[in-house]
Amino acid sequence: MKKPHPSRALSPQEQDALAAELDALRDSVVADLGERDARYIRRIVRISRYSAVFGRIALMFGFVPLLWPLAVLALGVSKILENMEIGHNVMHGQYDWMNDPRLNSQTYEWDNVGTSDNWRKTHNFKHHTYTNILGLDDDLGYDITRITGAQRWNPGYLLQPAYNVVFALLFQWGVALQDMKLGRYVLGRRPLTEMFAKLRPIVRKSGFQLFKDYLFFPLLAGPNLLAVPIGNLIANGMRNVWTYSIIHCGHFPAGVRIYTRAECKNESRGHWYARQMNGSANIEGSRLLYILSGHLSHQIEHHLFPDIPAHRYPEMAPKVREICERYGQHYATGPFIRQFGSVIGKFFLYAVPNLQRRPRTA
Amino acid sequence: MTVTATAGQPAWTHSLFRSGWLDGSALNFFLEELNPAWSLVRPAVRIRQIIEETHDTRSFVFKPAWGFGRAIAGQHVGIGVDINGRRHERRYSISSAPARGLVTITVKREPNGKVSNHLHDRIKVGDRVFVSPPQGDFVLPSPAPQKLLLIAAGSGITPLMAQLRSLLSGRYSGSIVLLNYVRSQQDRIFGAALDELAERHPQLSVHWCLEKENAERFSASQLQQRVPDYAERFALLCGPAGFMQVVRQHWHEQTLDERLRFEYFGTPQPFKPDDKPAGVAAHIALARSGRSIVAEANQSALAALEAAGETPSYGCRMGICQSCRCRKVSGPVRNLLTGAVSHEPNEEIQLCISAAEDDLVLDY
């Protein structure tokens, strides 16, 4: 039922040559980093901050016609920019070379119920090091979705098309709790005291977020008490659904390869590069889509060069694609609708057990 | 002049940012938008005046932002500038007497100094520089000893000038001798100001020791001749490392170490580079614990730390995940992936892909 992956296997020599070419591309961009990149990220920060201020103030005057939806949109866009183009990318160390304490990967705290410390571990380390390795990369289906036949089926997956709608709406909570692996505690495999200790920073962070969006700003609004929290809820929801969609387009569409642990034992740098190429998928679209996705539209380039300022990916993409083609590696890309459609297709396809018995992968 | 480099932001803003119950970063953003000097992270203040001291030395006068505190004479401040998108910070001694109001730093142009050259070539009156609070323990005991000897070489005069100005503007009634070693007549930093101070205050005597014109250098006999009672005086010393080594050696031989305070300029050099056993490429000094460990050639700093029994945090061990990020205070590191060598002080590095090229100081 599954076609063989379109990329050909690379010999160790080819892997080394591939690594050398990608390293050279990386070096050329690193050598060119400077004023232009600093100006770009500071402009995005400014847009995000002012759009949040406009949104929050305008929400308080929700009785003015048309102002309320505009305010929600502004706040939602601000949160999207902050999470995607600023938070995610800053925490990857993309702007550490600027030596600006406000854009430091180790101290940045994002506008999200999840803590940055947690994210740096689950995302920067686990996901980016073990990308698409079944059993090591927790982002493969986020422990709740079956997106490949290699995952063992259970009847719970029958509901995955439905519960993914809820997951999308509450995505930031999923991200916040991902590393907790709450199932362990529910099943009694780990002590509850450990769960409470691990939950404490998450509760503190999310408590602040809830306080801000649903108590502090609504109370500031006075008579317009209800319009503000509802607006905040929708803005948060907008951001949740958008990030969910972009992130699910990163590694789950058709043409993306899943790896086994055995394949990646003692892998070379070239093999790691090839795995990042084959394990990621891009989205084609407008510059606006690129920026709002935090340039995760260029997931392949991001996974090859996670610490290069993301707004550089579009100009690196043609070279990466050319290298891919020369080495016979598949470069998975397509418009948003097609990529996301392909992911939703997998939700349905893998909700049911595999149609053919396939030998279990090691 | 550059002194020991220290951490980026003050501890209280760090805890503010991390406290969780105040969105410090948002507050900070809008404060900076209103006025860059109101930043909670790193205030940027305008340069009010630039004074040409010598052909290669300039003083920069600025009004510090709130939260700067009051400097003690002899301390230094962090000065940051953005050069092609990158922020570079160096520490410079304050040369003015501590007072409310304006602060003066004095900067000598270093041959390859990124920041000193930028300050000299690019910064004009009205431009902003980032300033961090004063630090340093190169200060006089309190109350100040009645007999003082200040020994300066080159731009080492800057912290001593602050001491002099502070002593002479206050109630200090003791006697001060300043031994000032400079290359030539035209390298006399604060020449006119010192002559004028000496004229107004008989308690101060200033000795200019000119290397080029008079071939006068520090030696035991030269010191004996210039300052016969030097052993009775409490001494403050500041200058280039080589010069200070010679002076300290002399004080040591006279068992006067207790009566000498000194400050090194330039990046700190806690080790002699010539006593390394075979196989050891470099020493790594750990600034927080004061420990010193050895690194082998081509060994990542992460591996060197682990071999020495330290437990740094790490993740991927291949330069991707940033878990092992650490601030390098000084020294050259080579990127094991690209081979690029960086000498930049105060730089964030990834321990897993950085190898010590020579002795390093890590903020670990």
Tokens linked to A357:
């018995």
Instruction: Provide, as residue numbers in chain A, all residues whose Cβ is less than 8 Å from the Cβ of B325.
Output: 93, 96, 105-106
Size of interface A-B (CB pairs under 8 A): 97
DSSP classification of residue B231: G
DSSP classification of residue A308: S
Residue B2: per-residue pLDDT = 32
pLDDT of B6 higher than 50:
no
Residue A326: per-residue pLDDT = 96
The three-state (H, E, C) secondary structure of B57-89, written as one string: EEEEEECCCCCCCCCCCCCEEEEEEEECCEEEE
Tally of CA atoms within 13 A in the half-sphere of B229 that contains its CB: 11
DSSP classification of residue A3: P
- Identify the band that residue B274 occupies on the pLDDT scale cut at 50, 70 and 90: very low
- Identify the band that residue B276 occupies on the pLDDT scale cut at 50, 70 and 90: low
Residue A177: per-residue pLDDT = 87
Instruction: Provide, as residue numbers in chain B, all residues whose Cβ is less than 8 Å from the Cβ of A34.
Output: 84-86
CA distance readout (Å), B232 to B123, B130, B208? 44, 42, 21
Any chain B CB within 8 A of the CB of A73? no
Cα–Cα distance, A308 to A314 (Å, whole number): 12
Please indicate whether, in this complex, the C-beta atoms of B322 and A101 are within 8 angstroms of each other: no
Please indicate whether, in this complex, the C-beta atoms of B26 and A49 are within 8 angstroms of each other: yes
Please indicate whether, in this complex, the C-beta atoms of A121 and B348 are within 8 angstroms of each other: no
Q: Nearest chain A Cα to B42, which residue?
A: A101
Cα–Cα distance, B17 to B26 (Å, whole number): 10
Cα–Cα distance, B113 to B155 (Å, whole number): 14
Q: How far is CA A47 from the centre of its chain?
A: 21
Any chain B CB within 8 A of the CB of A92? yes
* Helix locations, B132-228, DSSP H: 157-169, 191-200, 211-214, 220-226
- Identify the band that residue A295 occupies on the pLDDT scale cut at 50, 70 and 90: very high
- Smallest CA–CA distance, residue B362 to chain A, in Å, is 16
Assign A309 to helix, strand or coil. Answer: coil
Number of other residues whose CB lies within 10 A of the CB of residue A36: 13
Instruction: Provide, as residue numbers in chain B, all residues whose Cβ is less than 8 Å from the Cβ of A101.
Output: 8-9, 41-42
| Contact present, B331 and B340 (Cβ < 8 Å) | no
CATH assignment of B11-135?
Answer: 2.40.30.10
Q: Which residue has the tokens 């993409």?
A: A317
Assign B208 to helix, strand or coil. Answer: strand
Phi, psi for residue B111 in degrees, rounded to 5:
-50, -50
- Smallest CA–CA distance, residue A159 to chain B, in Å, is 34
- Smallest CA–CA distance, residue A34 to chain B, in Å, is 5
| Contact present, A204 and A143 (Cβ < 8 Å) | no
| Longest pairwise C-alpha distance within chain A | 70
Mutate to test the interface with A, among B131, B321, B326 (most CBs of A within 10 A): B321
Cα–Cα distance, B287 to A322 (Å, whole number): 47
Amino acid of residue B289: S
Q: Which residues contact A277 (CB under 8 A, 6 or more apart)?
A: A7, A300, A303, A304, A320, A324, A329, A330, A331
Length of chain A: 362
Q: Which of A96, A208, A272 sits opposite B21 (nearest CB)?
A: A208
| Contact present, A259 and A275 (Cβ < 8 Å) | yes
Q: Which of residues 295-314 of A touch B (CB under 8 A)?
A: 306-307
Number of other residues whose CB lies within 10 A of the CB of residue B252: 11
Assign B94 to helix, strand or coil. Answer: strand
Domain ranges of chain B: 11-135, 147-264, 280-362
DSSP classification of residue A286: -
Please indicate whether, in this complex, the C-beta atoms of B321 and A107 are within 8 angstroms of each other: no
Residue B157: per-residue pLDDT = 96
Please indicate whether, in this complex, the C-beta atoms of A93 and B322 are within 8 angstroms of each other: yes
Cα–Cα distance, B197 to A281 (Å, whole number): 72
What is A92-135 written as a DSSP string?
TTTTGGGT-GGG-TTT---SSSS-HHHHIIIIIIIIHHSTTBTT
Mean pLDDT (whole number) for B197-203: 95
pLDDT tens track for A47-65: 999 999 999 999 988 778 8
Mean pLDDT (whole number) for A11-33: 95
Residue B23: per-residue pLDDT = 72
Number of other residues whose CB lies within 10 A of the CB of residue B32: 18
In this structure, CATH architecture of domain B280-362: Roll (3.10)
Residue A140: per-residue pLDDT = 87
Tokens linked to A311:
């707004």
What is A188-224 written as a DSSP string?
TSS-HHHHHHHHHHHHHHHHHHHHIIIIIHHHHHGGG
Q: Which of A37, A109, A307 sits opposite B85 (nearest CB)?
A: A37
Any chain B CB within 8 A of the CB of A106? yes
Name which of A340, A288, A339 is nearest A314 in CA terms. A288
Mean pLDDT of chain A: 91
Instruction: Provide, as residue numbers in chain B, all residues whose Cβ is less than 8 Å from the Cβ of A204.
Output: 20
Please indicate whether, in this complex, the C-beta atoms of B23 and A212 are within 8 angstroms of each other: yes
pLDDT tens track for A141-159: 888 899 998 899 999 999 9
Residue A3: per-residue pLDDT = 62
CATH assignment of B147-264?
Answer: 3.40.50.80
pLDDT of A241 higher than 50:
yes
Query: Positive or negative, the Cα torsion across A20, A25, A28, A34?
Result: negative
Out of B11-15, B324-328, B349-353, least confident range: B11-15
The proportion of chain B whose per-residue pLDDT surpasses 70, expressed as a percent, equals: 90
Q: What is the ipTM of this complex?
A: 0.85
Cα–Cα distance, B25 to B16 (Å, whole number): 9
> Residue B73: left if φ>0, alpha if ψ -120 to 50, beta else—which one?
beta
Q: Which of B28, B84, B321 sits opposite A125 (nearest CB)?
A: B321
> What are the b/e assignments for B114-127, b being 16+ CB within 10 Å?
bbbebbbeebeeee
- Identify the band that residue B19 occupies on the pLDDT scale cut at 50, 70 and 90: low
Length of chain B: 364
- Which is it for strands B175-182 and B292-296: parallel, antiparallel or unpaired? unpaired
pLDDT tens track for A256-268: 999 999 999 889 9
- Helix, strand, coil share of chain A (percent; to 5): 65, 5, 30
Mutate to test the interface with B, among A99, A200, A216, A302 (most CBs of B within 10 A): A99
The proportion of chain B whose per-residue pLDDT surpasses 90, expressed as a percent, equals: 62
| Contact present, B274 and B262 (Cβ < 8 Å) | no
Tally of CA atoms within 13 A in the half-sphere of A259 that contains its CB: 24
Maximum mean pLDDT: which of A70-84, A196-210, B62-76: A70-84
Q: What is chain A's alpha carbon radius of gyration, rounded to the nearest angstrom?
A: 21
Instruction: Provide, as residue numbers in chain A, all residues whose Cβ is less than 8 Å from the Cβ of B25.
Output: 102, 109
- Smallest CA–CA distance, residue B20 to chain A, in Å, is 6
pLDDT of A306 higher than 60:
yes
pLDDT of B353 higher than 50:
yes
Name which of B84, B79, B95, B104 is nearest B2 in CA terms. B79
Mean pLDDT (whole number) for B19-38: 83
